[in-house]
Amino acid sequence: MVRITKILMAAALLIFATTATAKDTLTIGISQFPRNFNPNIESMLAKSYILAMARRPFVVYDADWKLRCMLCTELPDLKKGTAKIVTANDGEKGLEVTYTIRPDAVWGDGVPVTTKDVMFTWKVGRDKRSGFSNIEPYKRVAKIDVHNDKKFTVHVSKFTCDYRTRYSIGVLPAHIEAKNFADPAQYRIKSAYETDTTNPGLWYGPYRVTEVASGSHIVLEPNPTWWGKKPAFKKVIVKAIEKTSALSANLLSGDIDYIAGEVGLTVDEALAFNLRTRENFVTQYKSGLIYEHIDLNLDNPILKDRRVRRALIHGIDRAGISTQLFRGHQPISHGQTNPLDTVYDKKVPKYRYNPPKARELLAAAGWSELRKGIRYNAKGERLQLDLMTTAGNKSRELVQQVLQSQWRSVGIDIRIRNEPARVFFGETVSRRKFPHMAMYAWISAPESVPRTTLHSTMIPSADNGWSGQNYPGFANKAMDKALDDAEVVCDEEPNKAVWRDLQRIYAEELPAIPLYFRANPFIMPKWLKGVVPTGHQFATTLWIEDWYVGK
Amino acid sequence: MFRYTAERIFQSLLVLLALSFAVYGLIGLMPGDPIDLMIQGDPNLSQADAKRLKAIHGLDRPLVERYGAWLFNAVQGDFGYSRNHSQPALDVISDRIINTGLLLGLSLVLSLAIAIPVGIYAALHPYSKTDYAVNLACFAGISVPPFWLALLFIILFAVVLGWLPAGGMATVGDGGFLDRVEHLVLPVVTLTIASVGDFTRFMRASMLQTLRQDFIRTARAKGLSMTRVVTGHALRNALLPLVTIIALSFGRLFSGALITETMFAWQGMGKMIYDAILGNDYNLALIGLMFATALTLIGNFLADLGYVWLDPRVSLSDRERTV
């Protein structure tokens, strides 16, 4: 009897041990594989997602959309004197921002993260040949004063309110990368992030990259030199499975444990997945800063008339679309500013679904004659508009069909003309070739001033080499002023007032029709706890040390 | 024979040269480029950044100039750097060739191993119940879209039954022989089903036609058994059209491999070429497509040699060339 009991106990222990071991590894599925691993060369969701486990930025927005330090000890602040407004040599307002690197911050090979790394990164960033995608923050830095190994002051030539995040550079390990930068033009090829990705000295997060199978998977293991809370998983495997149907099947088969919301399924795919199975998984939908909207070409004589633009928005049931197609997981937007953003104004003008009002506005705009349900003006011109979007994007194509039918009911004939993404974005939108309406999304950041998309100097044209992203061609002096002020009026109340103006003008003038804020579905096993979706560009993996296996 | 081989090699090189120019030109003519798309996805990037990045990647130079520079380096063995993979293009492709070779090779061998005997059997029993069943199965195999079949297999064998992995090439941290074999099963079977129908239909038709020839009747009249007639006389003749089809199917197998590789996350050539073309990764797209073309050309050359072996009337000698 004793023997049998011992055997049973041993078997139970073995089963328990096996279960525990299995949960030491977390396999995450994503739908993209990073093209490269250097944090400053090209911005890519999949890369940000993976690097967030192995590196930490100076400053991030947390899940509550509050700024917090990760690599620094304290947020720079004008009130505390760690940020100072100064007058630059040209008389312009400049800025001095002081950061202190955490004293316990070390690279994975034990070398401390110091100001030498900051200076090296600045040197690389300033060099146009280095291949950094965004060199603006480096160009704006006139000089950096090094106080000691951990403390430095950045001297900036232009003052803007976003100073706490703008200079939060992706620091590079000088002791490894300096030799690879000998020829700046070759840096993007010779960077150790590409040639020696598993070098521990490249990483300073809770995990470090230990294996890369190009196009297939990346393995991360705990970084012994990490200074923070020890992560729960002994191994994190990130598998790239591009086809989302295969990604779902892999989750069901147990080949992956969790589909990341940031780079995984769309809401409609997640809804379909949940219809099939919901026993072992929890799906969290988090709407965020991806703003789905329809740009209106304001050069077009029909759309130049604000009454027509307002009729368009009154003529569509955005709340119904959100409920019917996305089960309410993608909240409708009333402008380009997200309600989760601290600068959002709750009193922003809102448009309800009101077909009679839409008909009334169209009639007032001269589109009063109805023939076979379609409106015509006094010249006999038909109210026909082209609605374009990216071909093959199922969610957008679904929405497009509903919009077409709803607009038809108020007398607007919509022609759907879709194009592959690279034609649509590479040519049609960027060169403002869409005749009437273009449906797509903008990605922004919290408190980000939409200068490039709304300022009159940002209207792309052949004369300015198609620079700027104000594709509707929106030119409004009040908006220009609000945008200029939003960048430099930083005191809380005046800043809120500027943002209020900005949102009001946008809602009243309607350079674009706001649709909804896209949501990311995080499909995780019931035992995975601690994952807190953020809704902004900072990935959940920045807090992976808080993830654990629950009961 | 030597002269014929030399001529074919020279012709192949010309084809590859023309193809490289055509591919380079066509990718270059596609509207938009990855830098434009990068701008769209990153609100922090300006047009000045786009201009600078295009200069770094050489996208600001005229197409012909870029092609000339690529050709000059390629002749010296430098096929450039892959932008999609941040590695030399040759390094990226070398692993993928093996992966795709394994997938296509196994699928081809399996397809032929099934198609030839089944096709012969169906031809020997034309319009029988078995023949109809074979035809039905062939048409089903040809008609079923590979992506749907792949998904069906994943759901059945990986999700419902749990017998096989849903995708990938090996379990991370395992990679033993059996593990790799398990990962190969579903992609190979999917590709095989997609191609076996065609081969079977060709084999059946060809064998049926051969069996109606006079020399077969003569052989039968001499008292030879049907097995002897088929294996000794009919099969070699019936294989001739199949050889042509196999040679021509290399390219098609690549396109089938693209879908299979995408569905099963198999790191092969098909998906690599597709991503390279869409991502304007010139160096990788060129080397990938040139390899695929070279493979088709080699396939055709081997088919010519196969004709000589199968049919003594065909000769590749300089004086009496009939191919």
**Number of Cβ within a 10 Å radius of residue B208:** 18
Q: What strand order describes the sheet that includes A217-222? A: A207-213, A217-222, A235-240, A25-30, A258-259, A512-525, A281-296, A437-443, A384-388, A413-416
Rounded to whole angstroms, the Cα distance separating A379 from A369 reads 10
Rounded to whole angstroms, the Cα distance separating B12 from B9 reads 5
List of chain B residues whose C-beta atoms are within 8 Å of the C-beta of residue A128: 52
Report CA-CA distances (Å) from A12 to A21, A384, A527, B5.
14, 72, 20, 69
Instruction: Say if residue A376 is in the same domain as residue A416.
Output: yes
Instruction: Say if residue A353 is in the same domain as residue A262.
Output: no
List of chain A residues whose C-beta atoms are within 8 Å of the C-beta of residue B41: 43-44, 443
The token pair at A277 is 């199975």
pLDDT band at B256; cut points 50, 70, 90:
low
What pLDDT does residue B195 have?
A: 87
Question: Per-residue pLDDT tens for B96-121?
Answer: 888 888 888 899 899 999 999 999 99
Average pLDDT, stretch A491-503?
Answer: 93
| Percentage of chain B lying above the pLDDT 70 cut | 90
Please tell me which residue of chain A has the smallest CA distance to B35.
A426
CATH superfamily of B90-320: MetI-like (1.10.3720.10)
Instruction: Say if residue A239 is in the same domain as residue A306.
Output: no
Instruction: Say if residue A303 is in the same domain as residue A402.
Output: yes
List of chain A residues whose C-beta atoms are within 8 Å of the C-beta of residue B158: 249-250, 252-253, 255
In Å, how far is A42's CA from the nearest CA of chain B?
A: 8
Rounded to whole angstroms, the Cα distance separating A5 from A384 reads 81
Would you list the DSSP string of A393-430?
A: -HHHHHHHHHHHHHHHHTT-EEEE--B-HHHIIIIIIT
User: Which of A180, A214, A233 to probe by mutation at the B interface, max B CB count within 10 Å?
Assistant: A214
Q: State the count of interchain CB pairs (< 8 A) between A and B.
A: 158
Rounded to two decimals, the pTM is 0.83
Task: Check A255 against B151: CB less than 8 A apart.
Answer: no
Question: Per-residue pLDDT tens for B25-55?
Answer: 887 777 767 777 676 666 667 777 777 888 8
Instruction: Say if residue A149 is in the same domain as residue A275.
Output: no
Please tell me which residue of chain A has the smallest CA distance to B57.
A131
Instruction: Say if residue A444 is in the same domain as residue A485.
Output: yes
Residue A4 has pLDDT above 60, yes or no: no
Residues 6+ apart with CB under 8 A from A389: A396, A397, A400, A418, A424, A438, A439, A440
Task: Check B263 against A243: CB less than 8 A apart.
Answer: yes
What pLDDT does residue A23 have?
A: 82
User: Which of A41, A186, A211, A422 to probe by mutation at the B interface, max B CB count within 10 Å?
Assistant: A422
Task: Check B86 against A36: CB less than 8 A apart.
Answer: yes
Q: Which of A278 and A128 is assigned the larger pLDDT?
A: A128
The answer to whether residue A16 is domain-embedded is no
Q: With contact defined as beta carbons under 8 Å apart, do B242 and B154 qualify?
A: no
What pLDDT does residue B133 have?
A: 93
Task: Check B155 against A237: CB less than 8 A apart.
Answer: no
Residue B308 has pLDDT above 80, yes or no: no
- A121, A146, A177: which is the final residue of a domain? A177
Q: In terms of Cα–Cα distance, which of B136, B34, B52 is closest to A138? A: B52
Query: Which position has the token pair 């192949």?
Result: B12
Report CA-CA distances (Å) from B42 to A45, A411, A469, A538, B109.
10, 37, 11, 14, 47
Task: Check A134 against B271: CB less than 8 A apart.
Answer: no
Residue B174 has pLDDT above 80, yes or no: no
Q: Which of B32, B42, B151 sits opposite A245 (nearest CB)?
A: B151
Instruction: Say if residue A165 is in the same domain as residue A236.
Output: no
Task: Check B172 against A445: CB less than 8 A apart.
Answer: no
List of chain A residues whose C-beta atoms are within 8 Å of the C-beta of residue B84: 35
Q: Which of A139 and A59 is assigned the larger pLDDT?
A: A59
Residues 6+ apart with CB under 8 A from A188: A36, A38, A41, A130, A131, A194, B56, B86
Rounded to whole angstroms, the Cα distance separating A64 from B195 reads 54
User: Which of B59, B83, B159, B174 to probe by mutation at the A interface, max A CB count within 10 Å?
Assistant: B159
What pLDDT does residue B173 have?
A: 75
The answer to whether residue A313 is domain-embedded is yes
Task: Check B36 against A425: CB less than 8 A apart.
Answer: yes
Instruction: Say if residue A164 is in the same domain as residue A278.
Output: no
Residue A504 has pLDDT above 50, yes or no: yes
β-pair partners for A27: A237
Instruction: Say if residue A437 is in the same domain as residue A367.
Output: yes
Task: Check A211 against B40: CB less than 8 A apart.
Answer: no
Residue A390 has pLDDT above 70, yes or no: yes
Domain range for A160: 59-177
Domain count within chain A: 3
b (16+ CB within 10 A) / e for B232-253: ebbbebbbbbbbbbbbebbeeb
User: Which of A50, A202, A243, A439 to probe by mutation at the B interface, max B CB count within 10 Å?
Assistant: A243
The answer to whether residue A220 is domain-embedded is yes
Q: Which of B33, B46, B263 sits opposite A426 (nearest CB)?
A: B33
Task: Check B166 against A445: CB less than 8 A apart.
Answer: no
Instruction: Say if residue A212 is in the same domain as residue A295.
Output: no
Please tell me which residue of chain A has the smallest CA distance to B153.
A249
Q: Which of B42, B87, B267 sits opposite A194 (nearest CB)?
A: B87
pLDDT band at A320; cut points 50, 70, 90:
very high
What pLDDT does residue B301 have?
A: 81
Rounded to whole angstroms, the Cα distance separating A300 from A437 reads 10
pLDDT band at A11; cut points 50, 70, 90:
very low
Q: With contact defined as beta carbons under 8 Å apart, do A28 and A247 qualify?
A: no
Question: Per-residue pLDDT tens for B119-167?
Answer: 999 998 988 999 999 999 999 988 988 888 998 999 899 988 889 998 8
Q: With contact defined as beta carbons under 8 Å apart, do A86 and A79 qualify?
A: no
Instruction: Say if residue A47 is in the same domain as residue A73.
Output: no
Name the 3-class secondary structure at A327. Answer: coil
Q: Which of A39 and B297 is assigned the larger pLDDT?
A: A39
List of chain B residues whose C-beta atoms are within 8 Å of the C-beta of residue A27: 172
Instruction: Say if residue A305 is in the same domain as residue A453.
Output: yes
Task: Check B262 against A242: CB less than 8 A apart.
Answer: yes
Task: Check A189 against B81: CB less than 8 A apart.
Answer: yes
Task: Check A253 against B162: CB less than 8 A apart.
Answer: yes
Q: Which of A216, A255, A468 sits opposite B267 (nearest CB)?
A: A216
The answer to whether residue A8 is domain-embedded is no
In Å, how far is A103's CA from the nearest CA of chain B?
A: 30
Which of A153-157, A420-424, A516-520, B316-320 is least confident? B316-320
ipTM score above 0.95: no
Q: With contact defined as beta carbons under 8 Å apart, do B187 and A271 qualify?
A: no
The token pair at B221 is 């009249």
Question: Per-residue pLDDT tens for B204-225?
Answer: 999 998 888 888 888 888 888 8
Question: Per-residue pLDDT tens for B46-85?
Answer: 777 777 888 877 778 888 888 888 888 888 888 888 888 8
* Mean pLDDT (chain B, rounded): 83
Report CA-CA distances (Å) from B256 to A385, B92, B148, B195.
40, 21, 12, 9
Residue A21 has pLDDT above 60, yes or no: no
Please tell me which residue of chain B has the smallest CA distance to A452.
B43
What pLDDT does residue B40 have?
A: 65
What pLDDT does residue A308 have?
A: 97
CA torsion A202→A207→A210→A213, rounded to 10°? -100
Residue A116 has pLDDT above 50, yes or no: yes
Q: Which of A129, A134, A243 sits opposite B56 (nearest CB)?
A: A129
Written as one letter, the residue type at B79 is F
In Å, how far is B168's CA from the nearest CA of chain A?
A: 7
Task: Check B168 against A423: CB less than 8 A apart.
Answer: no
User: Which of B44, B83, B99 to probe by mutation at the A interface, max A CB count within 10 Å?
Assistant: B44
- A177, A207, A238: which is the final residue of a domain? A177
Please tell me which residue of chain A has the smallest CA distance to B95.
A214
User: Which of A255, A393, A431 to probe by mutation at the B interface, max B CB count within 10 Å?
Assistant: A255
The answer to whether residue A12 is domain-embedded is no
Report CA-CA distances (Å) from A353 to A312, A359, A368, A410, B273.
10, 12, 20, 12, 47
In Å, how far is B170's CA from the nearest CA of chain A?
A: 10
Task: Check A254 against B162: CB less than 8 A apart.
Answer: yes
